[in-house]
A and B are shown apart, each in its own frame.
Chain A
Amino acid sequence: MQEHQISKADFEACMKCNICTEVCPMYEVNPLYQGPKKSGPDAERYRLKDPAFFDSNLKFCLNCKRCETACPSGVKVADIIQMAKLKYSSSTHPLRDTALSSTDLVGSVASVFAPAVNFALEQEVASKAMGLLGVDSHSVFPKYASEKFVTWFRRNARKSQDSFGSQVNYFHGCYVNYNNPQQGKDLVKILNACNVGVKLMKGEKCCGVAMMANGFRDRAAANAASNVEMFSKVDGPILCTSSTCAFTMRQEYPEVLGVDNSKVKDSIMLATKWLFEEVESGRIRLAFRQDFRMKVVYHIPCHLQRLGWQMYSIALMRMIPGLTLAVPEQECCGIAGTFGFKKEYAGYSRKIGSKLFENLRSANPQVVATDCETCRFQIEMGTPFTVMHPLAILAEALDIEITKELNETDN
């Protein structure tokens, strides 16, 4: 008698099985947090009756989406919680949260004064000042690069990109632009060797994930609308090296922010997924250095797992002959973007991460690989290991000359 029987975020499909509660990393370490089922579908019914039922402890939700990955009924548990937070809560540290959420604005200022900013960030006085703002004093902030990725690209790479056999678009994101331009350079190096040109898009804005996490719904939605508009003007795939940027732009834009991305969604993908599929279909061929040796443990970021795309990064690394790869049981690292940098949450964040740290320590690799920059921060803070993006490993392992030849002859 009814064709569909689901409302927004599918919350009525919840059978109350509590599998989501079982996989929630915050529920395990924090008795104040009621877990995804109670905070999401259960409490939503009460919030619809009276907003007084909004529980401020929803702030503990990491938005890691493990609940959604686990849900056998397809309920978008974390989306329900995010929407409730955006609708009913207000920030307790407005200045800090504005700063932490403005990854693009802060980044563009910081990179101009990068040496000074990096120096200052290392000083005790800075850590005290941050403490006053509500930033955890044990956190190690990512350094800022003195030359932004886009500046490097304009000076060194842009002109030659049209000369390659085909082109892709690259959404570099804030982290690559301001903190780790090398990750973008690695992608350009790999793709160029494969006879693929890289194009940046005019008007790229921060994907907005940090704004959403800090309660700035309208700013995030404005960025989302602008990015979707920009994507609709380009041809070809739009590659991301950050799993969280990709996840946010594909899933969160329509589900949480209500920004329709249906026309561009399929084009937005992770660079490792695109590259794997090109290699798999024979359009791209990779050659690796004979002398390359590395013992790697791969950490699956929660958001990448929600996309179901971790296998592409794994498969790509498995192509490297000298690389031994271990993939332990997926655990949340606990950082959740800007969450773990906040004074009031840092303890929980580290507690959640401890299981992962333990796993990594017992595997004792040379390098930990992961696709997410904030997982990287957390692993670097919590373990002695070097952390690399899978593409950085690939760039190091690739025999550039032979790869170039292989792909030229094909064209």
Chain B
Amino acid sequence: MKEYDVIIIGGGVTGAGVARDCAMRGLSTLLLERGDIADGASGRNHGLLHSGARYAVNDPEGARECIVENRILRHIASGCVEQTEGLFITLPEDSLEYQAQFVGKCRAAGIDAKAIDPKEALRMEPSVNPSLIGAVVVPDASVDPFRLVSANILDARLHGAEILTRHSVEGFIKEGVTIMGVKARDLSTGELKQFRAHYTINAAGIWGAGIAAMAGVRIGMLPAKGSLLVFGHRVNNMVINRCRKPSNADILVPGDVVCVIGTTSDKVPFEECDNMKVTPEEVKLLLEEGSKLAPGLASTRILRAYAGVRPLVADDSDPSGRSVSRGIVLLDHAKRDGIYGLVSITGGKLTTYRLMAEMTTDLICEKMSKNVRCTTALEPLPGSKGVRPSGQGLGSLAAFHRHGEDESKMDKDSEVLCECENVTRAEIAYAVRELGVKDMNDLRRRTRIGMGTCQGGFCMKKVAAALSEELGDGSKAEEFEMQYARERWKGMRPVMWGETLREAEYMRKMHAKK
């Protein structure tokens, strides 16, 4: 049986980053993901590339990590990052004293924060609440988390890593106190497989507690649900934050052609992590608070609501398990628990995923006595090396925005199937061929298919047929269509009024089984 250097459990941004780093340093690498890449918290957040400003007052160390990584990602992930810059606004009910303290703390952390005239802020970002009394510009940016994870996975594969999605870890191969590998079920065939490795890295986010438990290790985790709303189009072109003590629903991020308001923060039981629902109270709060950042939100169509779970880790130094450790948590279970061959990486943020991967890979290399330097901060990711699209038309331009230079690998003059998001048949073929797409939801995460105004209502049939054809199994079209309708319906349900209700009804009539 093949023995890998490392097995990574979890295909979120952390696992993808670790896989890329390990592969680039020449380790033989396998990544196992129970569902699809980025279908946990990595795909259910704001898509905010933090400047660190949000943490400057309460967590200077986290702030410093963010600004360093922010600068790195603007370079290596330029295809995933949109350099929008961000505003922290002070409203009449907030304090300008806080703003002064905030600017000072940002600067101390190395974040270029500049207080500007509120009128100037309105000129830069016309959607901002005109009653603002203060504004600070910070180097926040928008990052597409689906693209970021996909680019890391793609690069890991290009460096020799193996990626297996739909493989659920069910246990470890344990010899005494040493983890020798994992037992994972291939969910598409039902087969239970064994994979051996020198080291296993638990990067399963909130599900990491369960993974650790299988190895007989306890990680105290506190699932915290964060709900967000996606609006039909961009209201703002800069990230807008409230300049006050971080609170609920005080960040509005432009992401691709939409904008996202969030988040809430509520402790939820572990059982809910796999199927989270956004409540009417959360929607109300998000709308009310969001409209204070940009009043236009109060009259903009909401496409859908979604929620992710932050993997908050209980501080090891607090035996009550109530206080949360901030920042990145890298656990060497050999040292901590006397279980060898297992490392857990958790906590952290989307913005600091690369640093988390670097720290983890450093630890593995140290254990393996391998002296190879990390180069992930220097090498641009796939899709971040392009200058301009190779094809003509909106389909090519949109594909270039999504895949950078890899747009050139798609057939030209291909028919646009998803008209809201300009996704062509050729882009679907490319995603199946090169990005490991196995069903409609995978395809959505790689291409934005069905993420637009009609939520797939209009293109679902065509796309389902095209996808099943590309996968070489034409019989799956109907199953794909229903899978997609159910998934879209779930996100629309919490905000089903006004235009979204009309759209949903239209969708139901078109796709309901006769």
Q: Do the beta carbons of B498 and A2 come within 8 Å of each other?
A: yes
Is A16's CB within 8 Å of the partner chain B?
Answer: yes
Docked pose: A13 CA to B301 CA in angstroms: 8
Interface pair A12/B422, CB less than 8 Å apart: no
The answer to whether the Cβ of B398 comes within 8 Å of any Cβ in the partner chain is yes
A307 in contact (CB, < 8 A): no
A41 and B453 contacting across the interface, CB-CB below 8 Å: yes
Q: How far is the CA of A54 from the CA of B454 in the complex (A)?
A: 21
Are the C-beta atoms of B498 and A5 separated by less than 8 Å? yes
How far is B232's CA from A119's CA once the two chains are assembled, in angstroms?
A: 57
In the complex the two chains form, what is the Cα distance from A128 to B284 in whole Å? 66
Q: Is the CB of A6 within 8 A of B233?
A: no
Whole-angstrom CA separation of A17 from B502 in the bound complex: 12
Size bracket, chain B contacts:
35 or more
User: Does the CB pair A16–B301 fall under 8 Å?
Assistant: no
How many angstroms from the CA of A2 to the CA of B499 in the assembled complex? 11
Indicate if A7 sits at the interface (CB-CB under 8 A): yes
Interface residues of A in 43-74 (CB under 8 A from B): 43-46, 48-50, 52-53, 55, 73
Chain A residues with CB under 8 Å of B283's CB are: 1
A5 and B452 in contact (CB under 8 A), knowing A12-B232, A46-B398, A49-B256? Answer: no
Chain A hits for B452, CB < 8 A: 42, 45
Q: Which residues of B contact A17 (CB under 8 A)?
A: 506
A50 to B83, CA, bound (A): 12
- Enumerate A13-60 residues with CB–CB distance to B below 8 Å: 13-18, 34, 37-38, 41-46, 48-50, 52-53, 55
**Max count, chain B CB within 10 A of own CB: residue among A18, A37, A48:** A48
Give every chain A residue within 8 A of B497 (Cβ-Cβ).
1-2, 5
Q: Which residues of A contact B296 (CB under 8 A)?
A: 7
Q: CB distance A6 to B499 under 8 Å?
A: yes
- On whether A46 and B299 interact (CB within 8 A), knowing A1-B283, A2-B498, A37-B419, the answer reads no
Minimum C-beta distance from A74 to chain B (A): 11
List residues of chain B with CB within 8 A of the CB of A5. Answer: 299-302, 497-500
Q: Determine if B397 and A2 form an interchain contact, defined as CB atoms under 8 angstroms apart.
A: no
Interface string of B363-399 (1 = CB under 8 A from A): 0000000000000000000000000000000100110
Nearest B residue to A14, CB-CB = B453
B503 and A45 contact, CB distance less than 8 A: no
Tell me the bound Cα distance from A34 to B392 in angstroms.
Answer: 14
Nearest chain B CB to A275 CB, angstrom units = 40
Q: Mark B311-338, 1 if CB is under 8 A from A, else 0.
A: 0000000000000000000000000000
Q: Does B482 contact A (CB under 8 A)?
A: no
A41 to B300, CA, bound (A): 14
How far, in Å, is B54 (CB) from chain A's closest CB?
24
Please state if A12 and B233 are interface contacts (CB–CB under 8 Å).
yes
CA distance A1 to B234 in the complex (A): 20
A7, B300: Cβ atoms under 8 Å? yes
Q: Give the complex CA separation of A365 and B397 in angstroms.
A: 51
Select from chain B the residue with minimum beta-carbon distance to A48. Answer: B234
Complexed CA–CA distance, A113 and B299 (Å): 55
CB neighbours of A202 from chain B (8 A) = none
Distance in angstroms from A321 CB to nearest chain B CB is 48
B287 and A15 within 8 A (CB): no
A70 CB to closest chain B CB (Å) equals 16
Give the distance to chain B from A222, nearest Cβ to Cβ, in Å: 23
Q: Are A49 and B284 also in contact (CB < 8 A) when A1-B497, A3-B299, A15-B454 are? A: no
Q: Which residues of B contact A52 (CB under 8 A)?
A: 397
| Known interface pairs A5-B301, A48-B257; A16-B499 also in contact (CB < 8 Å) | no
Asked if residues B232 and A16 are in contact (CB atoms below 8 Å), the reply is no
Instruction: Give the most central of B254, B284, B420, B454: most A CB within 10 Å.
Output: B420
Q: A15-B502, A53-B397 are in contact. Are A45 and B420 (CB under 8 A)?
A: yes
Q: Shortest beta-carbon distance, A391 to chain B, in Å?
A: 42
- Which of B257, B300, B398 lies in contact with A12, CB distance below 8 A? B300
Instruction: Determine how close the nearest CB of chain B comes to the CB of A54; give it in whole angstroms.
Output: 10
Question: A263 near B: Cβ within 8 Å?
Answer: no
Q: Does B139 contact A (CB under 8 A)?
A: no
A201 to B300, CA, bound (A): 42
Residues of B within 8 A of A55 (CB): 394
> Roughly how many angstroms separate A2 CA and B295 CA in the complex, as a whole number?
12
A14, chain B: closest CB distance, angstroms: 6
Q: Which of A2, A11, A49 contacts B257 (CB 8 A)?
A: A49
Mark contacts of B475-509 with chain A using CB atoms, 8 A cut-off: 1 yes-contact digit, 0 otherwise: 00000000000000000000001111011001000
The answer to whether A45 touches B300 (Cβ under 8 A) is no
Residue of A whose beta carbon sits closest to that of B420 = A42
Interface string of B292-309 (1 = CB under 8 A from A): 000010111110000000
Contact between chains at A45 and B453 (CB < 8 Å): yes
The answer to the question of A4 belonging to the interface, with a C-beta cut-off of 8 Å to chain B, is yes
CB of B394 within 8 A of CB of A2, answer: no
Interface hub of A14, A15, A18, A55 (most chain B Cβ within 10 A) = A15
Q: How far is the CA of A52 from the CA of B506 in the complex (A)?
A: 32
CB distance from A16 to the nearest CB of B (A): 4
Are A45 and B232 neighbours in the complex by a CB distance under 8 Å? yes
Q: Does B457 contact A (CB under 8 A)?
A: yes
Closest chain B CB from A239 CB (angstroms): 37
In the bound complex, what is the Cα–Cα distance between A42 and B453 (angstroms)?
8
Name the one of B233, B237, B256, B397 contacting A44, with C-beta atoms under 8 angstroms.
B233
Chain A residues with CB under 8 A of B233: 7, 11-12, 44-45, 48
**B207 proximal to A (CB < 8 A):** no
Residues of B within 8 A of A6 (CB): 299, 301, 499
Contacts of B454 in A (CB 8 A): 15-16
Q: State A174–B295 Cα separation when bound (angstroms).
A: 43
A14: which B residues are within 8 A, CB to CB? 453
A4-B302 Cα distance, complex, nearest whole Å: 11
B458 on the interface (CB 8 Å rule)?
A: yes
CA distance A254 to B387 in the complex (A): 40
Given A7-B296, A7-B300, A12-B453: A46 touches B422 (CB 8 Å cut-off): yes
A89 CB to nearest B CB, Å? 15
Taking a contact as CB atoms closer than 8 A, the residue among A13, A18, A34 that contacts B499 in the complex is: A13
Assembled-state Cα–Cα distance A7/B453 (Å):
13
Contact with B along A183-227 (1 / 0, CB 8 A): 000000000000000000000000000000000000000000000
Encode contact with A along B264-284: 1 for CB under 8 Å, 0 otherwise.
000000000000000000011
Q: How far is the CB of A22 from chain B (nearest CB, A)?
A: 14
Question: Which has the most chain B C-beta neighbours within 10 Å: A2, A7, A11, A15?
Answer: A2
Q: Which residues of B contact A13 (CB under 8 A)?
A: 301, 499, 502
Q: Using CB atoms, name the residue of chain B closest to A46.
A: B257
Per-residue CB contact flags for chain A residues 279-307 toward chain B (1 = under 8 Å, else 0) read: 00000000000000000000000000000
Residues on A close to B: CB < 8 A?
1-7, 11-18, 34, 37-38, 41-46, 48-50, 52-53, 55, 73
- Would you list 11 pairs from A and B whose C-beta atoms are within 8 A, ordered by A residue? A2-B299, A4-B298, A16-B420, A18-B458, A37-B419, A43-B394, A45-B232, A49-B254, A49-B257, A50-B401, A53-B394
7 nearest A-B residue pairs (beta carbon): A5-B498, A12-B301, A16-B454, A4-B299, A45-B257, A45-B233, A16-B458
Given contacts A18-B458, A45-B257, A45-B453, 12 further A-B contacts (CB under 8 A): A1-B287, A2-B498, A5-B302, A12-B301, A13-B301, A15-B454, A15-B503, A16-B420, A42-B420, A45-B232, A46-B257, A53-B398
